[in-house]
Chain A
Amino acid sequence: MTAADITAGKEAEDRIAVASNWKLVWWRFRRHHLAMASAVLLIFMYTIVLVPNFFSTQDPERTDARQAFIPVQTVHLFDDGSFSPWVPAIAGKRNPTTLRMEWTTDSNKKVPVTFFGTGYKWKVFGLFETTRHLIVPVDPNQRIFLLGSDRLGRDQWSRIMHGTQTSMTVGLVAVALSVILGVVLGGISGYVGGKTDSVIQRLIELLQSVPTIPIWLALSAALPRDWTPTQIFFAITVILSLVGWTTLGREVRGRFLALREEDFVLAARLAGCSRMRIILRHMVPTFLSHIIATSSLAIPVMIINETSLSFLGLGIRPPAISWGVLLQEAQNIQTLALAPWLLIPGLVVIVAVLAFNLVGDGLRDAADPYSH
């Protein structure tokens, strides 16, 4: 070992010595490459959630029966060696026997597209108007279908962007509600104990023993038909979290029970700390990272639940757009044979769920940096 090595080692040691819990968690999380990549992907997806219109090429509701089932148009960045993005043009011909439109892409005819160009009008966070989009055709009268179109001629790419907003938000909000319910009820259960604990635990057991799908079906069927999509959206979120908090509630209770016996909690009591201070300063920070990890594992479950409900036509209903609503389009075999790209929303669901699970696993492993 050289002197330089020893100094370097000493500095690293000093850095670790003053590192807070969150820093240690971050250092450990960073070493999970898959989880890191997934986290980047999720950050990107939540950017879409914030401004789906910016990523859309056209209004997701714009229909045109003459442009139904247009296949995927791939973006090409270079034309003749110079940067000039384009998509191949689409030519349609009606099949004389089936009377269906049959589309062919023609790579020789190029539709020029531009990044950060102008397209339809939208409002950033509903505040100020803009026409900027990530990618639009140079000619505003042209339509491009990056992921094809559905049976009504709506652009699937733009619809997926908007579906992402709904589905990812449902997941997040439902888990946030579950966390609030779980932490409050689980915390009371664990800290107060006794009769209260018994009542809450029996309630959790009851909720967990009820078959979820029929309950959801019943609850969503009970939603008034005349509710707006936003109202339905919130109702669905609440329904999901009402059933979803139980697991978290148990986890929080378990942590509270274990922590009550920790020496450093006893030390705080003997030092004369108040109950509130013990809970807020000693107990909550200790299990916060675990709660975050558990929640990030709960989000994909919520997303799947929402998607399944909407797929069955019982969750979010058109005209609102969610991944489940989009997958409804892919419900019959005929459509699938004709337009397999309508399955792409399913792929998006898989990617999102996988990413959440990987991040959650990474967080769970990193959550307790003192475990070894």
Chain B
Amino acid sequence: MSTEAQPLLSVRDLRVSFVLDEGLVRAVDGTSFDVMPGQVLGVVGESGCGKSVTMRAILQLIDRPGRITKGEIHFRRDSGVVDLVQLSPRGGEMRDIRGGEIALIPQEPMAAFSPVHTVGDQIVEAILLHSHRWQPDRKLSRSEARDITVGLFRDVGISMPEQRIYTYSWQLSGGLRQRAMIAMALSCKPRLLIADEPTTAIDVTTQAQVLALLRDLQARYNTAIIFITHDLGVIAQMASYVVVMYLGRVMEEGPVDDIFHAPKHPYTRALLRSIPSLYGQTRVALPVISGALPHPFNRPPGCPFHPRCPDVMERCSVAVPRLMPVGTSQLASCFLHHEEAEQA
């Protein structure tokens, strides 16, 4: 395919602001990254880093008082590349893309299913809504859609799928519910799957099951996945390419091995050092990142990380470093590595 080298999704200088009573919050402040077809992109960051807001922007789900103030989100469809920012959030094309070509696995599967319809019915509805993704020339019948649902349940490892499609979400255990949610997300054969902290609310042994399942499904369907999490372990195990965000900006990005073994940005380095591992020395002081995450109303000027940065220079508090290639495969926005600043 000729699209192989070209990104499936390309986010360029995205900015999202929230106008609140207390002031303007720049939740996403110039974020850029690409997702290649079939790639698992990990987006990692702490609270307030804008990772979830970025994903909502891609799906055009930013509610008032939030607004996309600038930037482009190019998404490759069969019919060509569209800029999602230009589409009407409630328009037909966006509705077709959302849920059809880009699907979301939310953090809390309980909230994502309606408690008054069976899980199977909800997935059948979704399949019928995006029926052309399975059968381009005619509308699927309800029984065909149900067969597809049973197949999906089997794919995500739900035993007795014929019976389980008739259950309600609250009758399922946490792990099964998360599997049903994945089946729902896959129900329209999406090109891109956005998994927003899909394992944060579940236990570690169940998390291991869900991660194994997602890895297996990804290998089978070759769907591109954006995997959002704050857990560096999950990122290391799941992603092939990693984007590190802090206060609405991309600090560093690169192949997973480089990010974990040759991090360039001081934030990435400090973050990796500060987490206790299963192999390190116990009961000793961990290297820490000093200070606290700034309140979103009080963004520091210049590089957002500079007040906590161990390698801070005079310039860092004045100019905002651009995201530039560093080394062979990584990109970093830090004056330690280049001189390029963002235009004011």
Interface 1/0 per residue, B266-301 and A, CB below 8 Å = 000000000000000000000000000000001001
CB–CB B298/A9 < 8 A:
yes
Q: How far is the CA of A31 from the CA of B298 in the complex (A)?
A: 22
Q: Which residue of B lies closest to A372 (CB)?
A: B20
Interface residue? A79 (CB, 8 A):
no
The number of chain A residues touching the other chain, given as a range, is under 10
Interface residues in A2-44 (C-beta closer than 8 Å to B): 9, 13, 31
In the assembled complex, the CB of B46 is this many whole angstroms from the nearest CB of chain A, namely 19
User: Which residues from B are CB-within-8-Å of A1?
Assistant: 301
CB–CB B21/A31 < 8 A:
yes
The number of chain B residues touching the other chain, given as a range, is under 10
CB–CB B21/A13 < 8 A:
no
Q: How far is the CA of A369 from the CA of B301 in the complex (A)?
A: 28
Q: Which residue of B lies closest to A28 (CB)?
A: B21
Interface residues in B203-258 (C-beta closer than 8 Å to A): none
Q: Which residue of A lies closest to B300 (CB)?
A: A1
Q: Which residue of B lies closest to A10 (CB)?
A: B298
Interface residues in B15-32 (C-beta closer than 8 Å to A): 21
In the assembled complex, the CB of A61 is this many whole angstroms from the nearest CB of chain B, namely 51
User: Which residues from A are CB-within-8-Å of B298?
Assistant: 9, 13
User: Which residues from B are CB-within-8-Å of A13?
Assistant: 298
User: Which residues from B are CB-within-8-Å of A9?
Assistant: 298
User: Which residues from A are CB-within-8-Å of B21?
Assistant: 31
Interface 1/0 per residue, B135-159 and A, CB below 8 Å = 0000000000000000000000000
Q: How far is the CA of A13 from the CA of B22 in the complex (A)?
A: 11
Q: How far is the CA of A9 from the CA of B298 in the complex (A)?
A: 8
In the assembled complex, the CB of B19 is this many whole angstroms from the nearest CB of chain A, namely 14
Q: How far is the CA of A13 from the CA of B294 in the complex (A)?
A: 13
Q: How far is the CA of A175 from the CA of B301 in the complex (A)?
A: 52
Interface residues in B289-329 (C-beta closer than 8 Å to A): 298, 301
In the assembled complex, the CB of B194 is this many whole angstroms from the nearest CB of chain A, namely 25
Q: Which residue of B lies closest to A31 (CB)?
A: B21
Q: How far is the CA of A210 from the CA of B24 in the complex (A)?
A: 51
In the assembled complex, the CB of A153 is this many whole angstroms from the nearest CB of chain B, namely 54
Q: How far is the CA of A1 from the CA of B301 in the complex (A)?
A: 7
Interface residues in A31-72 (C-beta closer than 8 Å to B): 31
User: Which residues from B are CB-within-8-Å of A31?
Assistant: 21
Q: How far is the CA of A13 from the CA of B298 in the complex (A)?
A: 10
Q: How far is the CA of A53 from the CA of B230 in the complex (A)?
A: 68
User: Which residues from A are CB-within-8-Å of B301?
Assistant: 1
Q: How far is the CA of A31 from the CA of B22 in the complex (A)?
A: 11
Q: How far is the CA of A5 from the CA of B285 in the complex (A)?
A: 38
Q: Which residue of A lies closest to B20 (CB)?
A: A372
Q: How far is the CA of A1 from the CA of B21 in the complex (A)?
A: 19
Q: How far is the CA of A311 from the CA of B21 in the complex (A)?
A: 45
In the assembled complex, the CB of B293 is this many whole angstroms from the nearest CB of chain A, namely 15
In the assembled complex, the CB of A33 is this many whole angstroms from the nearest CB of chain B, namely 13
Q: How far is the CA of A291 from the CA of B298 in the complex (A)?
A: 34
Q: How far is the CA of A163 from the CA of B35 in the complex (A)?
A: 72
In the assembled complex, the CB of A156 is this many whole angstroms from the nearest CB of chain B, namely 43
Q: How far is the CA of A9 from the CA of B21 in the complex (A)?
A: 14
Q: How far is the CA of A31 from the CA of B20 in the complex (A)?
A: 12
Q: How far is the CA of A9 from the CA of B295 in the complex (A)?
A: 12
Q: Which residue of A lies closest to B23 (CB)?
A: A9
Q: Which residue of A lies closest to B299 (CB)?
A: A1
In the assembled complex, the CB of A168 is this many whole angstroms from the nearest CB of chain B, namely 32
Q: How far is the CA of A31 from the CA of B301 in the complex (A)?
A: 29
In the assembled complex, the CB of A361 is this many whole angstroms from the nearest CB of chain B, namely 16
Q: How far is the CA of A324 from the CA of B22 in the complex (A)?
A: 45
Q: How far is the CA of A1 from the CA of B24 in the complex (A)?
A: 14
Q: How far is the CA of A31 from the CA of B21 in the complex (A)?
A: 9
In the assembled complex, the CB of A104 is this many whole angstroms from the nearest CB of chain B, namely 54
Q: How far is the CA of A9 from the CA of B23 in the complex (A)?
A: 11
Q: How far is the CA of A57 from the CA of B53 in the complex (A)?
A: 63
In the assembled complex, the CB of A107 is this many whole angstroms from the nearest CB of chain B, namely 50
- A interface, CB within 8 angstroms of B: 1, 9, 13, 31
Can you list 4 A-B contacts with CB-CB less than 8 angstroms, sorted by A residue number? A1-B301, A9-B298, A13-B298, A31-B21
Shortest Cβ-Cβ A-B pairs, 4 listed: A1-B301, A31-B21, A9-B298, A13-B298
